[in-house]
Structure 1
């Protein structure tokens, strides 16, 4: 008879699930220490895979500790439009107030940077300064969104692929020359509509607000007449992207100063609610390099 190994006191974090589908708040933890301790980090990573997004409060860590924690998951990536903190490469400053341009694409359901061939593994996001009320963020379990699709839709989308674009989103406010230059640096990426999580094997609905169109829909099986493709393919994509808005798949987090969220970008989407003007919302995010969806 074997005896189960109990976590040590240093890894026995308090974990409180926030919904039946996604998200847990973790307490009795110091993320600065986790960044330096293998056992604590391994426990944290396991919790992330289980809950898809983890939340923490009262984490008064430095920017260097923030970066160190994120780098435990993998190398960090910069953002070609938003940019990084000059002293901490890979730490993106998302500072919003009433005069900020609406170019961060936060208030739409999205999976970060799917316009990359290798979208991010995930992110570590810290609230530096937030409004007294408002400015919440919603995360969505896209594995659950796929699981609860009608079987007829699952059959229809099996094998479909879609195009994801930075030019059509971040580039839309640029001049034509700037937009074309951005596209030259980051050509549209093509990903499966249903990806497989590389660690859990879950099937994930993998379309979002960066997705422009289905690239292999126009076949004899799907298109009899032109109207079967346009607007037929667009209507299907709109239906699929709308699944992220279903509350049963969501968790909503109210930010406080020094609260932190860590999420698995491979199986979630998120939406930053911009309801707090004219208050200020200052966030800092370390995005982690990911792998090619399959």
Structure 2
């Protein structure tokens, strides 16, 4: 691992077998029972340290209950609901992402994004379970955005160091809604503002923190940046698009092929992901527990 290895807590004795999947992000955990992890303080501490190290963890063949799924996620912190996606009625915070013949896949997931950055406090992370998967297709890609920032040219890092950006649910989930519903969604969830470069609260890493929920830079139009109007429009948008495209670089990515009862656990603060929607009309059903996060500044 190139970015996070120095932060690993070497005092922990590793009992979980780990298979790294790429040179920069992702590891599969072997011979582990996530239900037991939810109940065992030492195992959970090890899992959390591994999450900081690899940023996304994968586990297969976990035939655990929804209650155990929720209990594992709640070890990280309280869960959040979603204003658009529905939750399991018996387990608030366990969001159902069911794509079947009655609900064609919306084009929200097949863009590189960090979950819910339209919130003032975006999620800390998520625990996602595959309930049903197509025979082929429906993979998900995760991206190490700390590595994406680390490898930016120095001149770009200087330009974006103090910049902030706006993130919107109205312009994403709300776009297909009738205008009254869209405006109501915006009133309930006003656009959030976050730094373009976020500092991870646990590892101290610098993270490139713009994604498909990001609409524009809010403090770019200054004498230092703008000589003529074209420096701002389209200059600011071109800079933002350049930064957003960093998530599509394969060297920062890991791609996971789902099987029934496989899990992904990811750090939403330092990653983006992309759910590949290449499987319609096959069925894909997932259940996600999102953990409430903290402020980005």
Coarse TM-score class (shorter-chain normalised): over 0.9
Is the Cα contact below 8 Å between 1:129 and 1:257 reproduced in 2? Answer: yes
* Residue of structure 2 equivalent to 1:201: 204
Is the Cα contact below 8 Å between 1:163 and 1:211 reproduced in 2? Answer: yes
Q: Deviations over 1:46-93 (max 9, x none)?
A: 100000000000000100000000000000000000021111000000
Per the normalisation by structure 1, the TM-score is 0.96
Note if 1:147 corresponds to 2:150. yes
Q: Deviations over 1:8-53 (max 9, x none)?
A: xxx6111010000000000110000110110110110010000000
Is the Cα contact below 8 Å between 2:105 and 2:280 reproduced in 1? Answer: no
Note if 1:192 corresponds to 2:195. yes
C-alpha separation between the residues in 2 aligned to 1:38 and 1:225?
58
* Residue of structure 2 equivalent to 1:255: 258
* Greater Cα offset, 99-108 or 280-289: 99-108
Instruction: Report 1:50-69 matches (<5 A).
Output: 50-69=53-72
Note if 1:279 corresponds to 2:282. yes
Q: Aligned-pair distance for 1:278?
A: 1.2
C-alpha separation between the residues in 1 aligned to 2:65 and 2:293?
24
C-alpha separation between the residues in 1 aligned to 2:156 and 2:25?
23
C-alpha separation between the residues in 2 aligned to 1:6 and 1:120?
26
Note if 1:176 corresponds to 2:176. no
Q: Aligned-pair distance for 1:97?
A: 2.6
Is the Cα contact below 8 Å between 1:103 and 1:170 reproduced in 2? Answer: no
Q: Deviations over 1:87-140 (max 9, x none)?
A: 100000000135425446110000000000000000000000001100000000
Three-state SS of the structure 2 residue aligned to 1:180 is helix
C-alpha separation between the residues in 2 aligned to 1:191 and 1:6?
34
Q: 2:233 aligns with which of 224, 230, 237?
A: 230
Structure 1 segments of 4+ aligned residues over 4 angstroms from their partners? none
Three-state SS of the structure 1 residue aligned to 2:29 is strand
* Residue of structure 2 equivalent to 1:221: 224
C-alpha separation between the residues in 2 aligned to 1:105 and 1:201?
30
The change in CA–CA distance for 1:131 and 1:102 in structure 2 (over 3 A counts) is: closer
Q: 1:269 aligns with which of 249, 272, 287?
A: 272
Is the Cα contact below 8 Å between 2:99 and 2:105 reproduced in 1? Answer: no
Is the Cα contact below 8 Å between 1:104 and 1:170 reproduced in 2? Answer: no
Instruction: Report 1:128-139 matches (<5 A).
Output: 128-139=131-142
Q: 1:121 aligns with which of 124, 149, 169?
A: 124
Three-state SS of the structure 2 residue aligned to 1:153 is helix
Is the Cα contact below 8 Å between 1:135 and 1:254 reproduced in 2? Answer: yes
Structure 2: unaligned runs, 5 residues or longer: 1-9
When the two structures are aligned, how many residues end up with a matched partner?
A: 288
RMSD: 1.2
Structure 1: unaligned runs, 5 residues or longer: none
